[in-house]
Structure 1
Amino acid sequence: MRTIWTPTLENFSGSKYEQLANAIGDAITRGELAPGSKLPPQRRLADALGVTLGTVTRAYTKAIYRGWVEARVGDGTYVRMAEPKSTGPLDLATCQQAVTDQAAFLGEVMSRMGRDPVRLAGLLDYHTANLEAQQETVLTFLARSGVDDFGGKLVFTHGAQQGLFAALAAICEPGDWVLHEAWCYPGLNRAAEALSLNLCGVSLLDDGLNLDELAACIDKHKPKAIYLTPNSQNPGCIGYSGAQRQRILALARAHDIIIIEDDVNYCTSQEWSAPIWQLAADAQSVVYLSSLSKRFAGGIRFGFMLLPARLQPRVNRIIHAHCWMVSPLLIEIGCELIRSGGIHQHRDAWIASLQQRFLTMAESLDLEAKSRGLNGRLTLPEGFRASNVIAALAAKGILARSLADFGGPANGIRFSLGRIPRGEEDEVFDRIQSTLTDVLNQGIAVV
């Protein structure tokens, strides 16, 4: 008798039917259930899992609603066939998750909210204060991730960029200095320019900042803040060591500097470490920023920040001046995604496999490379410009980004690996490798 697909429900959260529905989605994402394959008959799967027939029926219905599978009358339930490939370029220049089932999760959340008009009406007024139930949702989510509030204040934002701007404006005055990683998120430059702040980059090592250089910059500029991305440095693909984090925290405390810690960038559970906010454990020395942009989708402008209580009144005034308030409706959508498990995608294995493919490709070309989270960084030989490779890749329908855009070297390229569609990874890496081979063989270098 042929063995049927039987998932391990304990690997997933929620009720039994939610666990099974999420297991179906995970198996499809990992390729275990291929497009067009038939799911087990409901009664047989119920017997195999030791659950009721109703549980399997509800799970299959939820999977149908999410667009993963389709029911064929009299024939069973099948994994939906893959959508036709996009005719546009593959955007590996933008760092975000591949769009898989996010639309289905979002549609489910909005449909559920729409069926509760009383609840919905309560989100349509002006709110100048944060919402307690939604705050509790995010604080619980953070605590489960290993981030405690330590008596700090939670403030909602329209994405982490607004949180970064508000933090800088609350901490600094025009003309003050802010230190940052030498290869840095461009949004910091825009915020600093708008606030008339001076920036100084500190060079990066394999485990974080050059600490001697950091100490020298502190002595020279007397900065008010340091902006860092310790868990998944973008575009360097670096994770700060524990010793680095402790030393940076000690320097900041000794010189009365606030660390603005950006923990937006996705990294796998194996890569993630306790943030500096958690190490500080005092809600005094660090402002912690995060959002759903890299965990779910960039279009969900739902962010949040943990900050010292003394900064909250000024941060609130700055956000109020920007946009009057962060939309309560958007806040609730983000919180409902958290509650429903919509952002808890089991993608670590998939992302890790893309990272390994990227590193293997680079090794075959004898090129230096690093990968972390959604990104891969490639270093071309001295004398070669990333812009030439990026132009050649664009001609083959793949977009990538130069490290020079982040203040990095002109021979560095960043690829957003998370954007590679499942089932197309062989083709994508073949195109990248053949393009790199052509450019390197032709010797297109700086003249």
Structure 2
Amino acid sequence: MPRSRYKSLVDTFAEQIRTGRLPPGTRLPTHRQLAASQGLALVTASRVYAELEAMGLVSGEAGRGTFVRETSLPPGHGIDQPAVTAGMHDLNYNYPSVPGQAELLRTALRQLALSGDLESLLRYQPHGGRLHERASVARHLESRGLHVPAEQVLIVNGAQHGLTVALMTLLNPGDVIAVDALTYPGFKALALALHLEVLAVPVLNDGPDLDALEKLCRSRSVRAIYCMPTLHNPLGWVMSLEQRQRMVTLARTYDLQIIEDAAYAFLVENPPPPLADLAPERTLYVSGLSKSVAAGLRIGFVAAPASMIAALERMIRVTAWNTPGVMTAIAAGWLDDGTVRQLERQKRQDAQARQIIAGEVLAGLPIVRHPFSYFVWLPLSEDARADQVVSALMREHVSVSTAQPFTTSAQVPHAIRLALGSVDMGTLRMALAKVRWVVEAYS
């Protein structure tokens, strides 16, 4: 087929999609049907669809066919936060807050102003944080079942920065890391930026498929695994002690490094021990205060084996030098005086109340969730398409995410994730009612 004819066919499809003559959700002819109708070789028909998919105009789904995508969604919807317009109810991102947090900050700033050590906060800090502040974090981690000395705790600029320095320390471009088939979008973006090869581990109802993980380790040179044993985003599971012990056994057998993301772990009371406590010699535990305290308090922490501390400090120096002294001092003070524990209790209660609302409004739908989490995973019916549902909800002034940003496997499930923590209770109930109405309309 001459290139001009091939390009002409791509351009024709693109024009029909962009003008609405082929509306979102339209099932296109199969590759064989397109080849037969246009007199093409099958490989050329496949190339036409591949180019349209690369343009973001269609999506191919195993066993279902090729469909026209909804193109009115904001670019990067679900990971690069679009501007939230007036009247838009945000069920896409979680930045939970409870009453009185602003007053806590005013009090902390007044106390800091009266302290005798203000000038030191304006200077460069040690790359991993001052030792007494690292000790404050270490004492806090004991409440999560992690027993680690202050010297093995590093303070970073939020959990995302913690993941960055962890991956940069452990892995090189081209290295293979295993990760759940549905996972935190920020990890996906980071792995892409660092040129890591991500292998998807299938997910079960209560955790990753560890049999599948073992098969991957036997067939590929897997260097590390990234996981969220307490509390998984977006599926809300908490891995059992038996699952954690088996994962540790696999890690030791195949010499895997473990990156344990505990950003939402504060929402679960009395979970099994962290992987970092079960396998301290090979686990980097990453968390922070963005969810448990406030998104604007960009303080995170990494607990690591003693042998890795120097390398991690070098990566902190390369990426940020150190955390801001004033913010770190406030965070350490709140860790020491019980403010963080108080806020965590309040947010557990808040998340539970929001999940009760979600259960009432979405009753009968196949929702997947944890009773104390800030998110709900909602699989859609075979007849529904997630991009159409998300677009319809945006027209109703409700912003949610498709499964695309969370998916590491080739097959993207038709599902949406609902973040419950960023609107007031009344708005949440109203927005979830719109979600139900739209989902049922497209089923």
TM-score band w.r.t. shorter chain: 0.7 to 0.9
Query: What do residues 362-413 of structure 1 show as CA deviations (whole Å, max 9, x unaligned)?
Result: 324x434323511111112112122223223323332211122111744211
| Unmatched tracts of structure 2, length 5 or more | 1-84
Q: Is the 8 A contact 1:266 1:294 kept in 2?
A: no
C-alpha contact (below 8 Å) 1:92/1:417 kept by paired residues: yes
Q: CA deviation at 1:271?
A: 6.9
Q: 1:115 corresponds to which residue?
A: 114
Could you give the per-residue CA deviations for residues 81-134 of structure 1, whole angstroms, max 9, x where no partner exists? xxxxx9532222112313532222112111210122x31112111123531211
Question: Contact (CA 8 Å) 2:231, 2:268: kept in 1 or not?
Answer: no
Q: After the TM superposition, which residues 317-396 of structure 1 pair with which residues of structure 2 at under 5 Å, given as runs?
A: 317-343=314-340, 344-345=342-343, 346-347=345-346, 348-364=348-364, 366-371=365-370, 372-396=372-396
For 2:430 and 2:172, locate their aligned partners in 1 and report how far apart those are by CA, in whole Å: 50
2:134 maps to amino acid:
Q
Determine if the alignment matches structure 1 residue 411 to structure 2 residue 410: no
Q: Is 2:135 aligned against 1:136?
A: yes
**Corresponding letter in the other structure for 1:214:** L
One-letter amino acid matched to 2:137: V
Cα offsets for 1:140-188 (capped at 9, x unmatched)? 1111332210687111111111111111111112221111111121222
CA distance in 2, matches of 1:246, 1:252: 10
Check conservation: 1:155, 1:306, Cα contact below 8 A: yes
Counterpart position of 2:424: 421
User: In the superposition, relative to structure 1, how do residues 251 and 363 fare at CA in structure 2: closer, same or farther (>3 Å)?
Assistant: same
Partner SS, residue 297 of structure 1: coil
Partner of 2:204: 205
Counterpart-to-counterpart distance in 1, 2:435 and 2:190: 36
CA distance in 2, matches of 1:269, 1:112: 31
Counterpart contact for 2:226–2:260, Cα < 8 Å: yes
CA RMSD in angstroms comes to: 2.2
Partner residue, 2:304: 307
Q: 1:247 to 1:266 in 2, by over 3 A?
A: closer
Following superposition, the deviation at residue 276 of structure 1 comes to 0.9
Identity rate, percent: 26
The 1-side partners of 2:208 and 2:157 are apart by 29
* 8 Å CA contact 1:392, 1:435 repeated in 2: no
Structure 1 CA distance for aligned equivalents of residues 399 and 121 of structure 2: 39
Paired with 1:284 and 1:277, the residues of 2 have a C-alpha distance of 8
Q: Distance in 1 between matches of 2:120 and 2:244?
A: 42
Q: Which amino acid aligns with 1:110?
A: L
Q: 2:198 aligns to what SS in structure 1? A: strand
- 8 A contact 1:393–1:432 mirrored in 2: no
Instruction: Mark the CA change 1:271 to 1:294 in structure 2 (over 3 Å): closer, same or farther.
Output: farther
Report if the CA contact (8 A) 1:231-1:240 is conserved.
yes
For 1:319 and 1:331, the matched residues in 2 are separated by: 15
Whether the aligned pair in 1 keeps the contact of 2:138 and 2:150 (CA below 8 Å) is no
| 8 Å CA contact 1:359, 1:369 repeated in 2 | no
CA distance in 1, matches of 2:241, 2:379: 26
CA contact (8 A) 2:380 2:439 kept: no
* Structure 1 position 419, deviation (Å): 2.1
CA distance in 2, matches of 1:328, 1:435: 43
CA contact (8 A) 1:379 1:411 kept: yes
SS of the equivalent of 1:122 reads helix
- Name stretches of at least 5 consecutive residues in structure 1 with no aligned partner: 1-85
How many residue pairs are counted as aligned between the two chains?
351
Q: Quickly say closer, same or farther: Cα 1:245–1:181, change in 2 above 3 A.
A: same
